[in-house]
Amino acid sequence: MNRLLIISLLFFLGACSESLVPKTEGAPSNTDHISVITEDYELVKTSSQEGFLILFPCYPCNAENTRTEFNIMDIAFAHNVSVLLMNFNQRLWLTDTEKMNLERIIATAVKENKTDTDNTYMGGFSSGGNVSFLLTDYLKSSESSIQPKGLFIADSPIDLYALYENAQLTLKKNFSPVAVQEANWIVQTSETDFGVGDTSLVNFEDKSPYLSKTKSNRNISNLKGVNIRLYSEPDTLWWKENRQAEYENMNACYIQQLAEDLERLYGKDKVEYIQTLNRGFRANGERHPHSWSIIDEKELVESMVGK
């Protein structure tokens, strides 16, 4: 199976545009926003700032796809929130070098464009949520100049070992061609990166945001004081009909377990598990519970700015 084809299918996200236009644009008509577009990101800065939102895309996606699938831009502008749409993708976990590079890119972007980071929130969809979790933890632990006050994920595969085990189960069921193609990629990549058998657990634990098998959350253990939101839409009927998957095979299952563990670690006032219903739709109208749209954009932005 061609690698690019598998990447385009990963996590059932469909094809994403890869077009990037490195340039600086003037403010769109009838607005007071400035858009700066580079190979690494698109920054849309409001003239008056009450918040700064950093968004990471799904595995095969980019800033343009985030704009298309996540209808948050106009809401953010209405509440004076600047938005940094990242192009960083194709990562389920981060190396130390990648964490340092991402911090450098973000710090440079805000410095060059005089962007206020006092009220920074970071989040992502699918694998972008994993990146957001791991990067926020790194920023807090390294005392970076970028200190997020809030973090959110949308249906992210935060347990990489569970992702691997469920991919093996998908291959045995051999039900959905799309799911089987994705599962093959996950199994091959996991075994290459982490190894095979119980001894691989140490390697999974070293990189995964969370590992339910060992109750490990060491990679997100520096989030004291951060407001954490965990979104999922566990539509068991959809997953059963379309993928022959049970609740135990879904990202939602492990997100719920993580929420319970984080509540014990950071307190219930800092962790919110948001289980949605009938919100999951793609921009083309396709019903899919694994989508950016499970997030209530207005409510998220208002929670950022205290409204």
What's the CA gap between 241 and 218, in Å, rounded? Answer: 36
Joined together, the tokens standing for residue 218 give: 């060491």
Nearest-CA neighbor of 248 among 155, 129, 166? 166
How many CB atoms are closer than 10 A to CB 298? 16
**Strand pairing category for 120-125 and 271-275:** unpaired
Residue with tokens 């219903």: 277
Per residue in 46-100, pLDDT (tens digit) is: 989 999 999 999 999 999 999 999 999 999 999 999 999 999 999 999 999 999 9
Surface-to-core class of residue 198, CB atoms within 10 Å of its CB (0-12 exposed, 13-18 middle, 19+ buried) = exposed
DSSP 28: P
Q: What is the pLDDT of residue 31?
A: 56
The residue whose two tokens read 């995964």 is: 208
Nearest to 38, CA basis, from 88, 82, 101: 88
Please report, for the chain, the start and end positions of each structural domain, with discontinuous segments joined by +. 3-305
3-state secondary structure of 303: helix
Please write the tens of the pLDDT for every residue from 137-161. Answer: 999 999 899 999 999 999 999 999 9
* pTM for the model: 0.91
4-23 average pLDDT score: 37
Helices and strands of the chain, counted as H and E runs: 11, 9
Residues contacting 72, CB < 8 A, separation 6+ = 53, 55, 83, 295, 297, 300, 301
Looking at every residue in the chain, the average pLDDT score rounds to 91
Angle at 202 between CA 200 and CA 206, to 5 degrees: 120
3-state secondary structure of 116: coil
pLDDT given at position 85:
98
pLDDT digits (tens, 9 = 90+) for 272-292: 999 999 999 999 999 999 999
The predicted-structure confidence for 218-268, as pLDDT tens digits, reads as follows: 999 999 999 999 999 999 999 999 999 999 999 999 999 999 999 999 999
For the segment(s) 3-305, the CATH number from 1.20.120.610, 3.30.300.210, 3.30.300.30, 3.40.50.1820 is 3.40.50.1820
**pLDDT of residue 21 exceeding 70:** no
- For 255, the 3-state DSSP assignment is helix
Give the H or E element holding residue 141: helix 127-141
